Structure 1
Amino acid sequence: MVSNPVVLILGAGPRIGASVAEKFASIGYKVAVASRNGTGTKTANGFLSLKADFTKPDSIPALFNAVKTEFHASPSVVVYNAAALTNPPDKDSIFSTSAESVALDLNVNTISPYVAAQEAVNGWQTLPAETKKTFIYTGNIMNIAIVPMPLMLDLGMGKSASAFWIGLADAMYSAKGFR
């Protein structure tokens, strides 16, 4: 196992992301956090802080490259905690949300985490076989239950789509020790 494993937390805000970062640091992980407010420098607690725009899936590989450059190893754990939703102009109509807004939110909720998982799997192949490798996608109940609120349209769409590809990936890669 890598002596100091690396975790990359994508969507590291002041609540869940910060708590997850602190927990991993407390058990010996080198920590990189990516958010809209990233600085490109180390935080006061020694975390690598990266600026991220999850509406742009093509920006995700650069985050993984920055982590590898800083820590000389791929992250063995990747936590995807970013999420997006758009308030519909008509609070009673799901169809008042523009297709452009839905597409941007699906980038955050489905496409960017998919790209992050691709990058994670590519990096895991460079780590020792005995290293545990884990991709964590934070979520809510909307991949299995419909919350009857137009506000939840694109968040629920994204969580449902992501639940599918994550389940498929788990079935295909668990034999390799990728979870």
Structure 2
Amino acid sequence: MTTPVLLVLGAGPKIGLSVGQAFAAKGYKVAEFRRRHRPGWVLALEDQPCKHRSSGDPESIYQVLMASDGVALDPEDPLSSVSISETTRIFATNTISPLIAAQEAVKGFKQLPTSASRTFIATGNLLNTAARPPVLTFGMSKSALAHLIWGSSIAYEKRGFKFYYADERQEDGGATIPVSGPAAGRAYTELAEKEGQGKWLWTFVDGKGYVES
């Protein structure tokens, strides 16, 4: 039997580390890619079959997704404080990089047997359904990412390829800040093991699983 593989792009010390741990515990080979290598992030995985790759070149999006740096705008006049260069960077991070990653994932999925998971999960937030003027451009990029996942979930469902925009929420439907790495690990392994495409917008509450947003 072929060993399943998890590739984490844009791996950070919270979700990336915890997701890697969760999948490694289930026997996956784990490869994590991040913009900057920080040894302290990966200590908990040192005894697991996990490989790490770092890159200081933000243009190398085939190798690593850039870390997301939110840009706070004037809440009463956000359009006057928008920087086109910053917006371009944000979209490169949150939209174009995932698009390329999804393209490459589909190429790989086509070569895998139907018994393989073939699941693509993007970490999202509520900005695809809620307006927050101070993070207008960041929300625009996340909304575009959500559309990428939604459209892909429809296009590839018959082939058995699964696409999810995973968004941790509070009991009242509000955003979870900060997010829980272990909760993401549990949710993402559930999605990988789930047969067939579920709700593409996978809003979940820690301890409860999927909940309607």
Instruction: Please classify the TM superposition score into its range, dividing by the shorter chain length.
Output: 0.7 to 0.9
Task: Kindly provide the CA deviation profile for residues 70-121 of structure 1, in whole angstroms up to 9, marking residues without a partner as x.
Answer: xxxxxxxxxx895342234x56532313100000001101010010000000
SS at 1:60's partner residue?
coil
Alignment of 1:152-163 (within 5 A): 152-163=135-146
Q: 1:66 aligns to what?
A: none
CA RMSD of aligned residues (A): 2.5
**Equivalent AA in structure 2 for residue 141 of structure 1:** L
TM-score in terms of structure 2 length = 0.65
Q: State the shift of 1:55 in Å.
A: 4.8
Q: State the shift of 1:44 in Å.
A: 2.4
Does structure 2 retain, via aligned residues, the 8 Å contact 1:7–1:30?
yes
Alignment of 1:25-64 (within 5 A): 25-38=24-37, 44-45=46-47, 46-52=49-55, 55-56=58-59, 59-62=60-63
Does structure 1 retain, via aligned residues, the 8 Å contact 2:7–2:30?
yes
Q: 1:173 aligns to what?
A: 156
SS at 2:106's partner residue?
helix
SS at 2:8's partner residue?
strand
Does residue 103 in structure 1 map to residue 88 in structure 2?
yes
TM-score in terms of structure 1 length = 0.76
Distance 1:153 1:175 in 2: 35
Distance 1:62 1:28 in 2: 24
Task: Kindly provide the CA deviation profile for residues 153-172 of structure 1, in whole angstroms up to 9, marking residues without a partner as x.
Answer: 22201111111121111100
Q: Percent identity?
A: 39
Structure (1 or 2) with the greater helix fraction: 1
